[in-house]
């Protein structure tokens, strides 16, 4: 146990960054009665944040295929927090499918993950009629969910304001200029104080078609990346996401071909879909690809959310709240100077 920073409402708390990490920290602290000010250098459109480009899948069981157990532990806790704070969040599961040539990778995915049940072709078609006759079988992760980042971020920002706190957009801040407790949620921009942070580029495409209807994310097993199609409503679908060690933004022709190919493989009607947007974001990652809450007296840095920002942000914010109010430390995620 470390000493807590003081009772609620005692001293001001500043949060730098209103991406998914900063927004959840602000929400839980504000709702617990702390006076919070959030500084965000972007305008309300949040195009400078990685969170703007994300898929928003809340998939702790699927992610266990390539992640450490701590991701599932925090992710499952986050699902509860999403449910409690945003009861309208679609929690209708996710599907994993594969083509015949990727059969062995599909079976490996099934072996390395839990929380799924196998659906035969008929059951798959009943769950997602657009996929009828397309795949021999699939894995259904019934308890997973997904959010639409560009809808949920403004909702989080509105809730923070409703809880009596302030968000200042177009406000570039430096931790040293701020008084009281400072929570640094700058994502990849925090490399000045956390030099081991790197960006892992994720490219995405949004397409539009009336010919396909999906109710949940569909992952297509792929030898290099987990490619997926996420329904966004109003006939729009996000196709994601590559994972490339690169610092530039932009989308390469090769990646676009792979993402569009994956969509076409899920349903040939995607060939006639209209392309609405190409984009990419740099996921903030430490060398071990695990999240970290670094504590140095009144400075707390929440970073390294990598490909799990939406999955982990609520649970990480809950840990920060526990530290601020009661001095509780989670040894797996928190490091004290």
Ligand X SMILES: Cc1cc2nc3c(=O)[nH]c(=O)nc-3n(C[C@H](O)[C@H](O)[C@H](O)COP(=O)(O)OP(=O)(O)OC[C@H]3O[C@@H](n4cnc5c(N)ncnc54)[C@H](O)[C@@H]3O)c2cc1C
Q: Which residues bind ligand X (CB under 6 A)?
A: 16-22, 39-42, 46, 48-51, 53-57, 172-173, 185-187, 189, 202, 204, 240-241, 281, 283-284, 305-311
Minimum distance, C-beta of residue 235 to ligand X, in the bound complex (Å)? 20
Q: Is the CB of 41 or the CB of 99 nearer to ligand X?
A: 41
Which residues are CB-neighbours of 158 under 8 A, at least 6 positions away? none
Minimum distance, C-beta of residue 48 to ligand X, in the bound complex (Å)? 4
* Structure-block tokens of residue 279: 């984009």
Minimum distance, C-beta of residue 250 to ligand X, in the bound complex (Å)? 13
Q: Is the CB of 123 or the CB of 158 nearer to ligand X?
A: 158
Minimum distance, C-beta of residue 258 to ligand X, in the bound complex (Å)? 13
Q: Is the CB of 36 or the CB of 101 nearer to ligand X?
A: 36
User: Closest residue (Cβ) to ligand X?
Assistant: 19
Minimum distance, C-beta of residue 125 to ligand X, in the bound complex (Å)? 25
* Gap between the Cα atoms of 243 and 265, Å rounded: 20
H or E element, residue 82 = helix 69-85
Q: Where are the beta strands (DSSP E) in 59-197?
A: 94-97, 117-120, 137-141, 145-146, 166-168, 181-184
Q: Is the CB of 97 or the CB of 302 nearer to ligand X?
A: 302
Q: Is the CB of 21 or the CB of 265 nearer to ligand X?
A: 21
Q: Would you say 313 and 78 are in contact if contact means Cβ atoms under 8 Å apart?
A: yes
* Gap between the Cα atoms of 217 and 64, Å rounded: 16
Sign of dihedral through CA atoms 171, 172, 175, 179?
A: negative
């Amino acid at each position: 146990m470390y000493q807590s920073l003081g009772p609620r409402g005692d001293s001001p708390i500043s949060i730098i960054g209103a991406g998914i990490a900063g927004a959840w920290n602000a929400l839980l602290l504000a709702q617990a009665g702390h006076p919070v000010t959030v500084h965000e250098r972007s305008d309300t459109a949040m195009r400078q944040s990685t969170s703007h480009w994300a898929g928003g899948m809340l998939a702790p069981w699927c992610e266990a295929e390539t992640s450490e157990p701590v991701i599932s532990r925090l992710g499952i806790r986050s699902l509860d927090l999403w449910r409690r704070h945003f009861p309208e969040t679609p929690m209708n599961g996710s599907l994993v499918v594969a083509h015949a040539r990727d059969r062995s990778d599909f079976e490996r995915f099934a072996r390395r993950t839990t929380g799924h049940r196998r659906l035969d072709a008929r059951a798959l078609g009943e769950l997602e009629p657009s996929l009828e006759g397309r795949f021999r079988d699939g894995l259904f992760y019934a308890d997973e969910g997904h959010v639409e980042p560009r809808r949920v971020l403004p909702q989080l920002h509105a809730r923070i304001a409703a809880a009596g706190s302030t968000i200042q957009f177009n406000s570039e801040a430096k931790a040293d200029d701020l008084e009281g407790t400072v929570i640094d949620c700058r994502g990849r921009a925090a490399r000045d104080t956390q030099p081991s942070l790197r960006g892992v580029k994720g490219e995405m495409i949004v397409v539009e078609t009336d010919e396909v209807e999906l109710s949940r994310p569909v992952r297509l097993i792929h030898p290099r990346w987990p490619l997926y199609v996420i329904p966004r409503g109003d006939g729009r679908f996000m196709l994601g996401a590559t994972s490339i060690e690169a610092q530039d933004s932009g989308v390469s022709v090769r990646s676009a071909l792979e993402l569009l190919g994956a969509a076409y493989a899920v349903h040939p009607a995607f060939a006639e879909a209209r392309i609405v947007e190409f984009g990419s974001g740099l996921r903030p990652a430490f060398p071990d690809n695990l999240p970290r809450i670094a504590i140095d007296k009144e400075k707390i840095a929440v970073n390294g959310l990598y490909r799990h920002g939406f999955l982990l942000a609520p649970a990480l914010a809950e840990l920060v709240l526990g530290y601020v109010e009661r001095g509780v430390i989670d040894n797996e995620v928190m490091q004290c100077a």
